[in-house]
C-alpha cells in the first residue's frame, strides 16, 4: 500500500516562491501596464510594463511609492485633472470597475499619448486594493479621438458666425413695413440657421458618444419627478401638445439612468412627434411599471398620430440611421429637422444600457407611431402588480 508523504513547510514555501515567480514572469511579459495600489494609493505591486511607462525603469523603483507622485491625469483637451478621485489618498477607492481615456503627465514633466485606463477592486483580498491597467489606444480609437476633436473645433468655429447671422435676422424682422412674404422668408431663414446649429451640436455629441459610450453617467433617480420637470420646462405651446400617461405607482419607481440624457432624449422624441404628428393630436408620453415583468427594465413610450399610411419594418429601421427622414415632402413653412434625432436618442439610450424600438399601427383611422425606450430599474422589494390604474396628466 503506497502512502504519500506530505511536503514539508520548506517545500511548500519553495513551491509558492516558484509559482509567484512564474506569475511575475507572465505579468512582466504582458504589453499592458498593470499595478496594484492600496487605499492610500501606495503601489504594492507593478509589472515591468508599468515601471517602464512610469519611471523608465524596473518594478522595484515604483514599489511603495504614491501613485499621485508619479502621474497626473490629463483630459483630452490637455487640462490636468489634479483632483481625480482615482489618485486622491483622501478619497475612497472605487467600489466598481470602470475605465476612461487619459494622457499621463509623468513625474519628469513629460506627457504620454492617450491611454486606455481601467481599474477594478481586488476582491480576493480582504484589505482594500485596486488593480489599475493602462495601454495605448489602438488606431481605431485614435482615429475616433481625432474625429471628436475635429467636430469640437468645427462647432466652435461656426458657433460665432451662426450667432451673428441669427442676430442680424432678428433685427431685420423688427423693421417696420416688411411685407408678409419677406417676414415669412426671414422666419424660415432663422429656422434654418437654428437647424444648422442643432445639427452641429448633435454631431458633436454623437462623436463624443462614439468615442466614449460611458459618457452619460448612470445614477439612481426617481422617474416621476424627472418626467414632470421635463414637462414643466417646455414652452407653453409645446406643453399644450404633450400628455403624460403615468401609472399610480410611478412615484415609487426608481431607475438607473443619466437624468440629463433622459431630458435630451425626451426633447428629441417630442420634436419628432410635433414635426411628424398631426397638429390636432397630442404627443403621448406613457409609463406603466406594471407592464414590465419582475426584473425586466421599465419601458417609456412616446407616441404620435398622423394620417400617413404605416411604413414597413425596413423603413422603421432606416429611420434610426443618420440623416434619414420620412417620405413626406419638404414643407415651405417649416425647416426640416437635423436628421439625427433618432440616431442620437438610440446612442444615449444604449449608453445607460437601454434599448430603442419603433412600431406603427392603425388606430381608428390614425397611424400611431410608438417610440419605446427601456430604462434599467433599481431592484425593488416588491413586485409591481399588473394592470394598475393609469392616470392621465394632460399638460
Examine the pLDDT at 153 and tell me if it is beyond 90.
no
CA–CA separation, 217 and 215 (whole Å): 6
Distances from the Cα of 107 to the Cα of 1, 33, 39, 113, angstroms: 65, 17, 21, 15
* Interval 163-191 mean pLDDT: 82
Q: Which long-range contacts (CB under 8 A, 24 or more apart) does 55-62 make?
A: 55/107, 59/28, 62/35
CA–CA separation, 89 and 42 (whole Å): 9
* Interval 304-312 mean pLDDT: 88
CA–CA separation, 343 and 234 (whole Å): 22
* Residue bearing the bigger pLDDT, 139 or 327: 139
Examine the pLDDT at 80 and tell me if it is beyond 90.
no
Q: Is residue 266 very low, low, confident or very high in pLDDT (cuts 50, 70, 90)?
A: very high
pLDDT at position 43: 92
Examine the pLDDT at 387 and tell me if it is beyond 60.
no
Q: What would the pLDDT profile of 86-96 be if each residue is shown by its tens digit?
A: 888 888 888 87
pLDDT at position 386: 38
CB atoms within 10 A of CB 346: 21
Q: Which residue segments constitute the domains of the chain, with CATH numbers given?
A: 18-136 (3.30.450.20), 138-212 (1.10.287), 219-328+338-395 (3.30.565.10)
CA–CA separation, 244 and 288 (whole Å): 11
* Interval 105-132 mean pLDDT: 85
Share of the chain above pLDDT 70, in %: 74
Q: Which long-range contacts (CB under 8 A, 24 or more apart) does 307-310 make?
A: 307/278, 307/366, 307/367, 308/367, 309/367, 310/360, 310/361, 310/362, 310/367
State the number of CA atoms in the 13 A half-sphere of 376 facing the CB: 13
The mean of the pLDDT values for the chain is 79
pTM here is 0.56
pLDDT at position 392: 46
Give the 3-state secondary structure of residue 239: helix
* Interval 153-169 mean pLDDT: 79
Q: Please name which of 350, 370, 231, 348 lies closest in space to residue 291, comparing C-alpha atoms.
A: 370
Can you read off the three cell numbers belonging to residue 219?
A: 445614477
Give the 3-state secondary structure of residue 386: coil
Distances from the Cα of 217 to the Cα of 68, 113, 208, angstroms: 25, 25, 14
Q: Is residue 382 very low, low, confident or very high in pLDDT (cuts 50, 70, 90)?
A: very low
CB atoms within 10 A of CB 208: 17
Amino acid at each position: 500500500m503506497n502512502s504519500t508523504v506530505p511536503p514539508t513547510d520548506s517545500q511548500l514555501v519553495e513551491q509558492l516562491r516558484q509559482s509567484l515567480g512564474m506569475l511575475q514572469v507572465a505579468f512582466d511579459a504582458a504589453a499592458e501596464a498593470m499595478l496594484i495600489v492600496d487605499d492610500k494609493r501606495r503601489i504594492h505591486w507593478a509589472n515591468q510594463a508599468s515601471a517602464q511607462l512610469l519611471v523608465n525603469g524596473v518594478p522595484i523603483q515604483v514599489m511603495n511609492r504614491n501613485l499621485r507622485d508619479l502621474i497626473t491625469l490629463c483630459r483630452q483637451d490637455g487640462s490636468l485633472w489634479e483632483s481625480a478621485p482615482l489618485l486622491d489618498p483622501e478619497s475612497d477607492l472605487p467600489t466598481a470597475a470602470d475605465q476612461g481615456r487619459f494622457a499621463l503627465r509623468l513625474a519628469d514633466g513629460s506627457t504620454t499619448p492617450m491611454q486606455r485606463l481601467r481599474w477594478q477592486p481586488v476582491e480576493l483580498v480582504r484589505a482594500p486594493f485596486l488593480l489599475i491597467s493602462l495601454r495605448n489606444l489602438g488606431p481605431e480609437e485614435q482615429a475616433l479621438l481625432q474625429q471628436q476633436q475635429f467636430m469640437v473645433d468645427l462647432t466652435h468655429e461656426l458657433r460665432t458666425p451662426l450667432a451673428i447671422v441669427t442676430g442680424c435676422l432678428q433685427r431685420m424682422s423688427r423693421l417696420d413695413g416688411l411685407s408678409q412674404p419677406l417676414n415669412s422668408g426671414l422666419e424660415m431663414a432663422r429656422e434654418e440657421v437654428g437647424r444648422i446649429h442643432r445639427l452641429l451640436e448633435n454631431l458633436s455629441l454623437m462623436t463624443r458618444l462614439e468615442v466614449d459610450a460611458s459618457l452619460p453617467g448612470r445614477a439612481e433617480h426617481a422617474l416621476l419627478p424627472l418626467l414632470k420637470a421635463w414637462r414643466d420646462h417646455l414652452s407653453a405651446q409645446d406643453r399644450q401638445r404633450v400628455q403624460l400617461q403615468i401609472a399610480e405607482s410611478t412615484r415609487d419607481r426608481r431607475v438607473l439612468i443619466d437624468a440629463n440624457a433622459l431630458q435630451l432624449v425626451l426633447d428629441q422624441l417630442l420634436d419628432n412627434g410635433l414635426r411628424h404628428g398631426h397638429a390636432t393630436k397630442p404627443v403621448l408620453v406613457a409609463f406603466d411599471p406594471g407592464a414590465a415583468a419582475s426584473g425586466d427594465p421599465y419601458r417609456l413610450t412616446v407616441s404620435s398620430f398622423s394620417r400617413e399610411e404605416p411604413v414597413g419594418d425596413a423603413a422603421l429601421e432606416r429611420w434610426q440611421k443618420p440623416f434619414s427622414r420620412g417620405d413626406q415632402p419638404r414643407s415651405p413653412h417649416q425647416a426640416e429637422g437635423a436628421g439625427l434625432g433618432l440616431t442620437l436618442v438610440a446612442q444615449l439610450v444604449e449608453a445607460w444600457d437601454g434599448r430603442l424600438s419603433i412600431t406603427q399601427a392603425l388606430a381608428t383611422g390614425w397611424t400611431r407611431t410608438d417610440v419605446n425606450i427601456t430604462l434599467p430599474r433599481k431592484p425593488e422589494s416588491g413586485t409591481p402588480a399588473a394592470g394598475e390604474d393609469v392616470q392621465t396628466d394632460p399638460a
